[in-house]
Structure 1
Amino acid sequence: MKKSTTGLLLGSALVVGLSGCASSASQSSGMGDSSASDRAWYKHPAVCSVAGGLIGGGIGYASMNEDEEDTGAYIGGTVGATAAALLCAEPNKGKAPVGDSDGDGVPDDQDECPGTPAGVAVDAVGCPLDSDGDGVPDYQDQCPGTPAGAEVNALGCVQDLVLQDVNFEFDSAKLTMGAESVLSDVASKLRSNDSVRVRIEGHTDSIGSAGYNMDLSQRRADSVADFLSNQGVASNRMKTIGFGEKQPVATNETEAGRAENRRVELGEWQQ
């Protein structure tokens, strides 16, 4: 057989053989770390390297003149072994694994919002979810579900938030158990958004004297602030104001209207 023919055949064998090694290595790297130990012995990069060296050496030998056969075999073997080792090697072999320092499930090299607090739901790039798109993440948003395009304050609210179901015992500033449950959620969001300051406003209906209602509304606002403080919200981030019966939002002529007027509101405190 002529040397040119032999070289062509060996070259074809090299391409096919190394392509198979590279393909198997690529598939293994996509299957996870456990696949590396499960690969057949002949697919290992070291075996590919030996095969590449032999085939490359054969090509070099067959392609040279008689007086250069040894040199051609050496050069071909070296090139073939190197190429085979590179093609069959696992792409990520030797690279340090990428970490996830904030534990949100998004690797650090893909995380556009590093340092997300533990337990906060994130999107594909590691940023906290903002379901209503108002610029305030869900885990800090006191008013989720704001209409699209609405301008909100640092609390995520268009205006002051009426704390629904924050009620007190009769003729008292003592919070009910239901009120404490609502305020626990408020406190959690305020702790996660520690740059915002809040106003806590107390309001009453018109039953009783104006002076008594003013005092009662102040005590109720203070009671809410005390609870939030005990939940970890710094006292210097809160300002309490009692308005008594001065700012009704409904008529005081009906029980339903008076119930609306007995309320506590939360707003952004801008100094």
Structure 2
Amino acid sequence: MRDEVADGWKISQVEVLVGLPRRDIQRACYEGAGGLGIVKPRNTTWGWRVYEVPDVAKLFLLAQGRRQGKTLDEVRDELASCEGARDVLHKLARCEQAAREACDAQAGASMSACALRCAIEQGDVTVFAGLIDASFAEDARAFCDAHAALGLAAEGLLSKLFADLARVRACGQAPSSNDAKEICAASVHAVSERCALRAADAAELLARAMNASGMGLTCELWLGPATWTYANAALEASQLDAQRAGATEEECHVKPLGDAKEQSAV
């Protein structure tokens, strides 16, 4: 009954939820010698402490610090400035970002290892395209709904873009050639249409996907040295053309100031 009545968590529950040993949780509560004094759980009439959401958040951050090899005292110093909800939220946001970056790095390492193994074993080359398009799907989901992202990945949008640009490069054409830029523009248009994005956002999605961790190595193991850098240069050239075209179109819609003055004089 106590669990249902109390508006919070007991220490045994917090241990499981944040993965922090009981002794560390207890030290986090104590002030003075040996204590950290970073959380102050509420005492109940039943004689045990209730840990509320702000307490659990700080203990979670403490657990993350410990996993990074920091001492309790080091984490205490980092959390000493957490006096209000805004401070805690800021540190949680930083923790979230760091975890996301670590996840991306691990995914890139996994992708690179698989690509290298395939290259050494001289296995099925379709593995490379599969790795590239699976990575694209993950990046695309940050820009559009999962259905559209998976659809483009299943069609091999990014792997085909790399392969098409590799063929243009093999013909001796520069990244700024019309053929290379047209290939990139077509891919940007496809992403824009399928993901309901502005052209600039679609290009950003492609650039992000092309530069995901492990992408460069995978691309060049498949299509040859410098193909990944060539693809990036081609996309950049294509976008510069698009920006110039947009600026020119905007200028055409602006009436010259002299004409406006003449009309007002009439």
Instruction: Tell me the TM-score range normalised by the shorter chain.
Output: under 0.3
Q: Select the structure of larger CA radius of gyration.
A: 1
- Higher relative contact order (Cα pairs below 8 Å, separated by 6+ residues): 2
Normalising by structure 1, report the TM-score: 0.26
More helix per residue: 2
